[in-house]
Amino acid sequence: MAQCVQSVQELVQDSFVPMVAVLCSEEAERVTRKNNLNFAELLRPFCRLTSEGHIRDPNNQVQVVKNLRICVNNVVTSPNAASAAQRRLLNEVVSSCQPQEGAATNVITAGDYDLNFSATTPWFEAYRENFLQSMAASEHEFLNHYLACLLVVSSTETVPVEQFLKLSQEQHRIQHSGDYTNPKWFIPNTLKYYVLLHDMGEGGEQRAESVYEDMKQRYGHQGCYLLKVNSRSFSAEDDEQMPDPWSQYLHRSNLQNQEEEDAAVNSGPVENKASAAEVDSSPTPEKDGASTSLERHPLQLDTALCAEHPEPKKGAREPESLVGAAGSHGACLTLNDHDHIRQFIQEFTFRGLLPHIEKNIRQLNDQLVSRKGLSRSLFTATKKWFGGGKVPEKGVSEPKSTCGLLYPPEAPELQIRKMADLCFLVQHYELAYSCYHTAKKDFLSDQAMLYAAGALEMAAVSAFLQAGAPRPYPTHYMDTAIQTYRDVCKNMVLAERCALLSAEILKSQAKYSEAATLLIKMTSEDSDLRSALLLEQAAHCFINMRNPMVRKFAFHMILAGHRFSKAGQRRHALRCYCQAMQVYKERGWSLAEDHINFTIGRQSFTLSQPEKAVTAFRQILTNDSRQTATQQGAFLREYLYVYKSVVGGNEDSLPQLPLPCIHSSATRVYFGHERRLAQGEKQAATHVSLDQEYDQDLAAMWGQLEEQLVAAANRGIVPASFQPTQCCLNSQTDNLRYPLAVAEEPIIVEVMFRNPLKVPLALSNLSLLWKFTAEGVTPSEEVTGEAITNEESLTEGMTQTDNVVTTQIILEFLLCPEETKMARLQLLPHRTGQLSIVGVVYNLAAAPCGETAPSCEGQQAMDFMVVRGRQDLKIQGPRLNQTKEDKMLVRHGVDRRLDPVITPPMPLMEVFFLQFPTALLCGEIRKAYVEFCNVSAVALCGLRVASTHPDFFTFGSRGLTPLTPVSPTSAESCSAYKTSTRQPGSVASEMLVSAGDFSQPSGVMEIPIDGSTLLPGESTQLPLWLRGPDHEGVHEINFLFYYQSTEKGMKISHRVLRHTVFICASRSLSVQASACRSSVPPHHRLDDKSTGGSLVFVDVENVNTSEAGVREFHIIQVSSSSQHWSLHKCINPANDRDCKLGSRERAKLCFRATRCQRPAASDAAEKYTFADVNLGNEQIISSSTPCGDFFFRGCLSPESQRVGGTASRTSSSSRILEDKAADISNIVKKCNELDLNIIVIWKAYVVEDNKQLILEGQLHVALQTIGKEVTSLTPKEEAQEMVLLKFKPEAPAPVAPPSAELSQLIKTNLHYPETHSHPFVQESLCVVPVTLTLSNCSSAPVDVLIDLRHKSPSPESVEVHSSFTWVGRTQYKLQLEPQEVLCVTLRACFLQAGVYNLNTLRVFAKLTQQGAVCEADSQQAASPALIIINNA
């Protein structure tokens, strides 16, 4: 339980005090009414004694009475029909006692809970005090029966003694006539104490003294008293402020006192026995007065508290007797009068009341002892004569109660109870316990359960209050008493009193668990107020335990709040719910949180705390609720109603709305117009769209392309301030800098809304809220630096379109249940400056669930439930993780995506593509068209393009572009190549072309538009050649167009436009090529070409899968391009000239290649020779666009660095030879280099839609090395097979000697007759001349050694040339200059006819300037040279 001001001992003592009745004459009442009080009220503040009293027990032992308080009340003869008034009194007491602002609070930390709640509950203490004091007298106990009666007569009476006599007779009549059941009197001979009241302001003090002397003679000096009051005169002391000790007593029990006052006045000395009928006798309700109409929900939105608590009826009392302002009581009393009253109470108690009680205790003790015939000592033989008794004699007509029998007043059991009560009232708890214990046994044996319960209750209290605690507190006594009161006697009032006392006693002994259990058991449906208070105290018990039970505290606080609400105590209900919320908040108890927040919201709204109500309802709606859709809809409507009531007409500033949820970090900002869709045949550039997902890798790729473009536009240098263009900003982009937007171009903000509820939400008039600070404004326009905002116009719901920013408004935006939806809101800035997007503004309403049209009244209600508010877009930047402080703390950077800087107008270009294919064959050439449009009011220039696939397209070369139609309408059947007529089979035609005419540095292409400038509104169209990728599959090809303004010094230096296409490439042809040295001796060649010819073999296979409808391929031309070699002619048989390939067919072509003869011009070395060998009647000029362009882009680009390196080595061979380590390998590599690029041009015949189309294309093969086969299709990599792990390292492979490489330095050729006839009969030796041709293939002098003595050890070769030998010199030493050809004549001698292999000689070669001797056998890999010798 909560902390109390009183100790439990003080509480029990003040709950059971001696009762004193008051009977006043009318004149005495007049005297006291001068102070706005009646006589009982006049005495009330002074009823606690400040000094100790003494009595003697039956054993003549002195007992000290400390801190005694008496209770003085007017005599009320009306029956106890005032239970409804008592309920109203208790309700008002609790309602008027609220927690004070800044009152002491308890802060308890239990586990991870930090609770802050009220340390005291003064409303419960006030309730308990008033409840105990307002209990009606009962037959089974005498504690609240009157022990004495004060008879008060004014000294101004004519004959005061007669008035005393009348009052005495009236008291006797009330007690003994039997006509009145109330009030209850303790003993028949009630103490009568005569008080003469003298008004000092009216004089006559001597008469009062004389009357008092007469009274002392008549009644004894201990039975009367002269009380002098009203000593204050208003004329003398108007300014003096007197204390008012009555207000606190009268304020707490106003209603109770008034009810008693009504009865007392009506039953005064004037004989009107029927006056009691005027007391309010309305039927007693079953519940508290505050909850008499339970049909109405206690959370209903009204504040009719006064209707529930009507004012009590006014009786005969004058208006000034009611409670007024502070200082209105005791106006005629001085401080001396206060002392007089205090002294009167002390005299009455010490000389009248206590001796009267002591005498009655002795009399009762004597009666009981004499009646039992036992010892006079009550203490020595208590158990003997209190151990039991006979059942009292009762007549047949005596009533039986439901709780057992009823005792007559003279029954000895009641006498014991009277004696126990008297002892208890004067604090003789030991004797009281003995008497209660004895009476308890008698009552139980008689089955008088009501009496037994009362004896058990007081025995337990007496045991607890005994000094020194000789025995423990008998909790089971109290439990039995409570159970008996409640279940057997059906008396909840007595059970409640018993529970209140027992709970306080248990709390004082730190038995909080038992106290809580007891309090919870006492809750019932008959009184919501009592149940609420007891549940709240039980909750405090749980939190005050040694190990606080936090969740039980919160749960019982919720129950208490619910019962407070049913009792009409809304403030207390709100307080309980708020205290419980501390436990349930953000702990995963979502349903409990919703219930608590909803109750807090409704109670706060009812109590005129709308801000608190709005906050509570906001919590319900923003949490991820698990409520049903119906419940959530009710929550939403409640919130809208409360919000609308709070805002009312005060909409100066837009408040924050909780719904829908906005994911601020997911906000995306797009700068510029949305992409145009395709217009007819035109296909617009894809650029950047909000529909595209952001990809970090793609963004990096676009950034690299833009960096290439910027470097190309700035002479190869990237400015230090360069930042990639970001058209769309999101949470993954770099938002540290202020983004740049362009005036007169829209800014689109995509906001992600999420509806957390299971009911739809209807948003209307949705728009962005912004602030704008203009730059360069004049003072006449606005204050410099003052921000312009659209909040005011949006608050009023107007559309704003002015010269600053045009704001788009979405009229309707519906969010389905639990839906996440994007809203794209647009701003159009018109002026330059700093724009800041603050948030969104909208009207919120609960969307109707049904499809039926609402009625007029329903529509008005729906309009009323629409609220307007805002939500701010607060984006948190990325977490910083650079410094140590950043890693230790949680810091976030800035995010400025919503703060764009508006710059002056910039050019804006749109790009359209015409006849752009989506599918191509590998290597297919297709012609398309691209259109550039300047849609802005600013001219643009510097148009460039970069791509991830620069070999995919070309705009053509300047001066070499064929005269093809510019308009796409006339180019449907026209070839993309430049052609001429030429007979097949002739020698190739050659043309020298400079690479600079085709290739551009860094892969960036300048777009050749006329004048290099596009004026505003101007458009131009250019042809674009495309070549299908070499590899099949779907290819993503990205274009980045670059342009800039003709005006310099702009904040935005350039702009870019993105375009992405996807091309599906299908297989066409596979080309395999290889080259070998020509073995024809120079003097046998028919042409005049120089030495060093080679043979080129080209294998072409149709690998098309016929999915594209291709019937057949025609190889129409094979071209070559090289700086050193060129194709000379086709040496295929004549019947193979027409080369047609069906599906999976292969063709073999053989060409002779010769070295190029360069002119003496200085720039000839930088040029390429294009040689065309046409296989049909049409020659395609391969050195022009687009064939040459794609050759340089596709075949040459990856090898450009290597080609350049080759040329430099050719011109500086002497420098290469100086490096001894790389000497041999460099020379050998150079010796085998061919550097010949083959271009195979084909046509494909395709049937599509019953039409035959002719497709054309080209494939590239680069022959770099003699003897090495290359292909246009790279084989697919196969998965590596699993290999065993080797733990022992393998021995390193032996280094191959460099002599093996030298076999390529010298080319040998044997020239001899195939057959020779010789008459061996005539001449036994046959000598045949053989010519050995040696060719130096390198660019360095070579020493050659010819050894004819070699005989092959191979057994197979022995059989072939066993009788063959060389004659003449057996060894030759020669030196060959670079590229020299030398012939040596040899003679072979044969002994008999047969077939012989002449290739048995050994040729050794070494570089002339090489220090070490390195020999190589050039015959090891040579083929046999067979000769046939016939016998003539």
Question: Are the CB atoms for 1124 and 1156 separated by under 8 Å?
Answer: yes
**What amino acid occupies position 1310?**
L
**What amino acid occupies position 121?**
T
Q: Is 710's pLDDT higher than 80?
A: yes
Radius of gyration of the CA atoms of the chain, in A = 60
- What is the length of the chain? 1432
- How do the residues of the chain divide into helix, strand and coil, expressed in percent and rounded to 5? 30, 25, 40
793 forms bridges with which residues in the sheet? none
Looking at residue 3, what DSSP letter applies?
Answer: B
Structure-block tokens of residue 545: 């335990």
Confidence of residue 386 (pLDDT cuts 50, 70, 90): very low
- Over residues 910-924, the pLDDT tens digits come to 999 998 899 999 999
Q: Estimate to the nearest angstrom the gap between the alpha carbon of 880 and the chain centroid.
A: 20
Say what percent of the chain tops pLDDT 70: 77
- Residue 177's nearest CA partner among 81, 267, 264 is 267
Highest mean pLDDT (candidates 110-114, 431-435, 891-895): 431-435
Neighbours of 798 (CB within 10 A): 12
Confidence of residue 80 (pLDDT cuts 50, 70, 90): low
How many Å apart are CA 777 and CA 775, to the nearest integer? 6
How many Å apart are CA 261 and CA 263, to the nearest integer? 5
- The whole-number pLDDT of residue 1219 equals 52
Q: Which residue has the tokens 């209990």?
A: 135
- Residue 32's nearest CA partner among 272, 331, 262 is 331
> Which residues, at least 6 apart from 548, have a Cβ–Cβ distance to it below 8 Å?
108, 110, 542
Supply the mean pLDDT for the chain.
79
Separation in Å, CA 841 to CA 669, 763, 790, 882, 897:
17, 10, 10, 37, 19
- Over residues 792-821, the pLDDT tens digits come to 776 655 555 567 899 999 999 999 988 899
Highest mean pLDDT (candidates 637-641, 880-884, 937-941, 1377-1381): 937-941
> Which residues, at least 6 apart from 1393, have a Cβ–Cβ distance to it below 8 Å?
1318, 1320, 1429, 1430, 1431
Structure-block tokens of residue 646: 């709070």
> Which residues, at least 6 apart from 423, have a Cβ–Cβ distance to it below 8 Å?
57, 361, 429, 431, 432, 435
- Residue 839's nearest CA partner among 869, 870, 809, 872 is 872
Structure-block tokens of residue 873: 């877009």
Q: Is 1278's pLDDT higher than 80?
A: no
Separation in Å, CA 747 to CA 666, 671, 831, 1286, 1332:
16, 5, 13, 64, 84
- The whole-number pLDDT of residue 1291 equals 58
Q: What is the mean pLDDT of residues 507-516?
A: 92
- Over residues 1140-1176, the pLDDT tens digits come to 888 888 888 888 888 887 665 555 567 888 898 888 7
Q: What is the mean pLDDT of residues 310-327?
A: 36
Helices (H) and strands (E) in the chain, counts: 34, 58
Q: Is 531's pLDDT higher than 70?
A: yes
- Over residues 388-429, the pLDDT tens digits come to 443 443 333 333 444 557 888 888 889 999 999 999 999 999
Q: Is 1238's pLDDT higher than 70?
A: yes
Structure-block tokens of residue 607: 């109590």
- The whole-number pLDDT of residue 1368 equals 86
Any alpha helices (H) in 714-850, and if so which ranges? 791-795
Question: Are the CB atoms for 520 and 538 separated by under 8 Å?
Answer: yes
Structure-block tokens of residue 677: 């869709």
Give the residue, 782 or 687, on which the prediction is more confident: 687
Highest mean pLDDT (candidates 394-398, 1087-1091, 1259-1263): 1259-1263
- Residue 41's nearest CA partner among 351, 328, 321, 344 is 321
Confidence (pTM):
0.69
SS3 888: helix
- Residue 180's nearest CA partner among 171, 190, 189, 188 is 171
Q: Please give the angle made by the CA atoms of 1167, 1169 and 1171, to the nearest 5 degrees.
A: 165
How many Å apart are CA 683 and CA 167, to the nearest integer? 117
- Residue 1259's nearest CA partner among 1275, 1272, 1276 is 1272
Query: Is residue 472 reached through a cis peptide bond, with omega within 30 degrees of 0 on the bond before it?
Result: no
- The whole-number pLDDT of residue 1036 equals 92
- Over residues 762-790, the pLDDT tens digits come to 999 999 999 999 876 544 444 444 678 88
- The whole-number pLDDT of residue 678 equals 67
Give the residue, 177 or 859, on which the prediction is more confident: 177
Confidence of residue 721 (pLDDT cuts 50, 70, 90): confident
Counting Cα atoms < 13 Å in the Cβ hemisphere of 812 gives 5
Q: Is 356's pLDDT higher than 60?
A: yes
Q: Is 1430's pLDDT higher than 60?
A: yes
Give the residue, 403 or 339, on which the prediction is more confident: 339
Question: Are the CB atoms for 1348 and 1401 separated by under 8 Å?
Answer: yes
Separation in Å, CA 2 to CA 86, 403, 610, 1159:
24, 34, 30, 115
